[in-house]
């Protein structure tokens, strides 16, 4: 397998503009301005809306009831590294509870010296931090364990979003309540009808967990846990309990349903891995990807997203020949720990079949595995924590399909 370190950069892409077709003009050709409107536009409004020409929406996976299930972010249409709050993926187990922030409280109790009950006003008066973070459902790409998987990147990887989160470090509150020396776990409980519970190691809670109330510059949306959620950077989304109402400090995990019968990994030998919290390095090409079509041969920009729950993305390599050679993609700044990283690579589509894919390397040195390598270790009984390399088939006519279907 050959590795090529240097590929064409974006300046070269523009210099080779003739390949783009009629979209670039040069010399003495006339430039035509868009028509000037002949009437006044829309008035100033109280809350911004997107253009009616923008139609990207979440895709909802079928489920037995409307109150449970998931909707997937249209990452094929994404730009940059932040997901609009209205397009952030959803995963609910008992619907979205209507919670009034004026009456909502979170209690911190259990193996502590000074239990606390805090209102939202209490929390907003405390020192806060803001972090850009990726959030990925533990079941994202779950269908990829078996041949076929998602026909497009929204269905295969759309339980993923990136946001700017604001909240209070949990470590500050735990210091205030006085955690007993023999405590080692924090049990987070949500305010939805199923009383979602997850056991969080005390070490994680003291390291970087947040009690988040802000998302992308405003209060988070109800589907994301309004008015308050726990946020565990880099860990499977289910641990970031929404509609947070209780944090109980204990000396053992609760072994709740959603960390035993769910969100656990059944191995090939019949054993089960539990508490596999961190989402390992992963990447995917979002353009061109399944369901999209390149209009004609010529130069285009491959782009996609990479992320790791264990650190920062240090490198993304791209292949356009099915893995025979790999080229380093350009990584867009900022590159932040446990956040989405945008990568780009100019590519000349020559009108012949191509198999394209990306693989990420994070700051721990971990390299995103192939699907085959992942299955060799984990087997095919799991639906969680899939991070295998995703291959797209670009056909001669420019249409793109799932290469593994």
DSSP string over 316-350: EEEESBTTSEEEEPEEPSP--TTS-EEEEEEEEE-
pLDDT of 171 reads 98
State phi, psi for 17 to the nearest 5 degrees. -60, -20
pLDDT of 18 reads 46
Tokens coding 91: 């995963």
- Who's near 44: CB < 8 A, 6+ residues apart? none
Distance CA 269, CA 382 (A): 12
pLDDT of 36 reads 85
pLDDT of 107 reads 98
CATH fold of 90-135+162-272 reads: Sulfite Oxidase; Chain A, domain 2 (3.90.420)
pLDDT in tens, the chain (405 residues): 555 444 455 555 554 454 444 445 444 456 788 888 889 888 888 988 899 998 898 988 777 777 778 999 999 999 999 999 999 999 988 899 999 999 999 999 999 999 999 999 999 999 999 999 999 999 999 999 887 678 999 999 999 999 999 999 999 999 999 999 999 999 999 999 889 999 999 999 999 999 999 999 999 999 999 999 999 999 999 999 999 999 999 999 999 998 998 899 999 888 999 999 999 999 999 999 999 999 999 999 999 999 999 999 999 999 999 999 999 999 999 999 999 999 999 999 999 999 999 999 999 999 999 999 999 999 998 899 999 999 999 999 999 999 987
State the number of CA atoms in the 13 A half-sphere of 51 facing the CB: 3
Q: Bridge-partner residues for 355, per DSSP?
A: 321, 393
- For 51, other C-beta atoms within 10 Å of its C-beta total 6
pLDDT of 390 reads 96
- Who's near 206: CB < 8 A, 6+ residues apart? 170, 171, 174
Q: Quick check: 85 and 215 in contact, CB under 8 A?
A: yes
**What is the b/e burial string over 110-145, where b = at least 16 CB atoms within 10 angstroms of the residue's CB?**
bbbeeebebebeebeeeebeebbbbbbbbbbbbbbb
pLDDT of 31 reads 77
pLDDT of 5 reads 45
Domain ranges of the chain: 90-135+162-272, 282-402
- CATH number assigned to the domain with residue range 282-402, chosen from the 4 options 2.60.40.650, 3.20.20.70, 3.40.228.10, 3.30.70.260: 2.60.40.650
- Who's near 34: CB < 8 A, 6+ residues apart? none
Distance CA 313, CA 360 (A): 7
Q: Quick check: 384 and 138 in contact, CB under 8 A?
A: yes
């Amino acid at each position: 397998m050959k590795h090529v370190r240097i590929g064409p950069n974006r300046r070269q892409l523009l210099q080779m503009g003739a390949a783009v077709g009629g979209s670039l003009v040069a010399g003495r050709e006339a430039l035509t301005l868009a028509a000037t409107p002949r009437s006044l536009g829309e008035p100033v409004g109280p809350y911004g809306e997107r253009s009616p020409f923008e139609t990207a929406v979440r895709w909802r996976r079928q489920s037995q009831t409307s109150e449970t299930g998931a909707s997937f972010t249209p990452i094929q249409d994404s730009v940059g590294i932040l997901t609009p709050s209205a397009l952030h993926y959803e995963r609910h187990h008992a619907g979205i509870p209507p919670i009034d922030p004026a009456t909502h409280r979170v209690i911190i109790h259990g193996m502590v010296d000074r239990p606390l009950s805090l209102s939202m006003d209490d929390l907003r008066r405390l020192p806060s931090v803001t972090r850009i973070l990726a959030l990925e459902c533990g079941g994202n790409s779950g269908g990829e364990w078996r041949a076929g998987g998602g026909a497009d990147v929204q269905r295969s990887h759309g339980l993923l979003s990136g946001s700017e989160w604001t909240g209070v470090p949990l470590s500050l509150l735990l210091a205030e309540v006085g955690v007993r020396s023999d405590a080692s776990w924090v049990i987070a409980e949500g305010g939805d009808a199923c009383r979602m519970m997850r056991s969080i190691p005390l070490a994680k809670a003291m390291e970087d967990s947040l009690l988040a109330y802000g998302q992308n510059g405003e209060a988070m949306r109800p589907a994301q846990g309004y008015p308050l959620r726990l946020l565990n950077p880099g860990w499977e989304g289910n641990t970031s309990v929404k509609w947070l109402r209780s944090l109980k400090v204990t000396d053992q995990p609760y072994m709740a349903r959603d960390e035993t019968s769910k969100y656990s990994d059944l191995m090939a030998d019949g054993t089960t891995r539990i508490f596999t919290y961190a989402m390992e390095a992963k990447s995917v090409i979002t353009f061109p990807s399944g369901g999209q079509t390149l209009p004609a041969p010529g130069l285009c920009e491959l782009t996609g997203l990479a992320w790791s729950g264990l650190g920062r993305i240090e490198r993304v390599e791209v292949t356009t020949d099915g893995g025979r050679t790999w080229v380093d993609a350009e990584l867009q700044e900022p590159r932040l720990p446990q956040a989405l990283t945008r990568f780009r690579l100019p590519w000349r589509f020559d009108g012949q079949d191509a198999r394209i894919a990306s693989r990420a390397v994070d700051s721990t040195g971990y390299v995103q595995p192939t699907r085959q390598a992942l299955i060799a270790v984990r087997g095919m009984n799991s639906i969680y924590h899939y991070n295998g390399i995703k291959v797209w088939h670009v056909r001669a006519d420019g249409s793109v399909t799932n290469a593994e279907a």
